Structure 1
C-alpha cells in the first residue's frame, strides 16, 4: 500500500504514547477516551509556546438545540473566515485541546478562525454534531461578513466540514468558498484497500474505526444520510473547491482518495496533499514532529491558494 516507511520521529512518538497493553476502543468508556485524548494532546504540545494572534475570545452560538461554545481567533487584517471542527472520532476533543493548532492556523493563514465545540456522541447522537456545525457556520458568516468562507476540520471534524458543505448546497445555506479536509472520515467501507492492507504499526485498528464510525453514522437516525458520511451523497456537483490532506499510513486513505476522485469527476477543483510518511492525527503532533510541521506548512500554502480562489470567485 505504501513503500515509504513511517517517519522515524512518528514511530518514536507513537511508541512513547503506546499503553502497556492494547485495549479495544469498544472496551473503553467515552470519558476514558476523552481522558486519553487530553493526555495525548498535553504530550504533543508539551513545552510549546502558543503563537500570539490579534485576539482570542470565547463566544456562544445560539444553536437550534441550545448554546454552542466557539472560540474565535482574530487576525488583525483577516484574509478569510475559517470555521474549524476538531477531530476525535465525534467522541473526544475540545476548544482547549485544539488551541495550539488553531492559533497557528489563524497566524499562518491570516484568517479569522472559529473553532467549534460541537456536541459529541454518544450522549448527543447524530444529527447533533452536524446540526451544531451547520448552525455555527451560519452564525460565523453573519458575524464576519464580506470574507471568503472556508469550512475545515481534521478527522471527524473533516467529515463534519464536508457534510456541512453538502448541506449548505442542498438547503441554500451560506456561501462556502472552500473546504479544508484533513484526513476526513468519508465512508464505512471497512474492506477498502487501506483498511485491510496497512500493517498493525498504523494507529487505529480496523475494528476500532468500525466502532467509532458505527457509533456515529450507523444509528437509525443517520442511516443513509449524506450529512453523516459524505460518500453517501448521490452527487458532489456544486461543492466548493477542496484541499484534502491524506496521510500515507492511514486506514482512511483509500476512501479519501476515492472521494477526491469523485469531487474532481463532479467538476470540483481539488488539491490533494499526500504525506506518505505520516499517519492519522499528524495535525495534532506537528509541534513535536518535524515532518508533521512541514506538512502543516504545506497545508497552509494550499489554504492561501484556496482563499485567493475564493476572493476571485466573489
Structure 2
C-alpha cells in the first residue's frame, strides 16, 4: 500500500471520528443540562478519578461531604483561602532538563500498575480508560471545560506523587507555533515528544517503548501511539493552513475571549474552533479519538484551553 493511500485512509478515519462526535445526537447544546443518567455517570466517574486514579483524598473525607450536585466536586479538606494560584509553564520556553523531568515522570506512570484494577495496564492507562468511558458526557456541553480542567489537575497530581515530578503540568502554547506548526519544539525527538509524521512515532524516547498505549475507544488494544500530522499537512486547504493552523492562531483565541458574551458561546467556540481543529484535523491519529489521552505526554490542546480564564 502506498504512503499516499495510508495517509488518505488515516485522514479519513480521523475525520469520521470527528463527524460522529459532532453529530446532532451527540451534541447536547440544545439542553445544557444533561439527563439524570448522564449526570450520574459523570458524577460516579469523577469519584472514580478521586478515589482510585488519584488516591490523594481519603474516602472518609469524601463520604462526609456528600455530592449534593452531580457536577460539583466535594469539598476538599482545605479551609484557607487560595493566596497563590500556580502558573503552569509553557513547553515552548521550558529548559531542556525540565522537559526531560516531565517525560521521565510520564514514563514512571506507565511503569506502575493500574489503580483501577485493570489487567496488564498501567496507572497512565487509567486516565485513558476513564476518558473513553465518559467521552460523550464530557464533550459538547457545559461540563466539558471544568471536567477537563479537573482531569488535567488529577494527572498533574499523579505525575508529582507517583511519577516523582517536582514541577507543574506544562502546556503547549500552540498559538506560538501556528505560523509553522511542523517546526514546533514538541515534535523534536530530544527536546519534545518525537515525530509529527504519519502512523507510529518514529523517533524520540516514546518510539523506543513499543506498544506504549493499551486502550483505544474500542477497548483494550495495545498499540503504538500514532499521529497523522503530515497527512493533515498534505491535505491542507489554503484557507485552513498547515494542520488547520489558521483555526488556532493568537488572533483566533483573542477573538473567542473578547467576543464571547456567554459561557455557552465561549465553550462552543473553543470546542468547535481550536480544540476540534487541533485534535482531529491537525494532529490526528490517537489524538483524534476518544482515547486522546494516549497522547497526553504532548501537553494537549485541552491543557492550553484550561489556562484560558
Q: Structure 1 length as normaliser, TM-score?
A: 0.24
Give the TM-score normalised by the residue count of structure 2. 0.25
- Kindly indicate which of the two structures has a greater share of residues assigned to strand: 1
Between Structure 1 and Structure 2, the one with more helix by share is 2
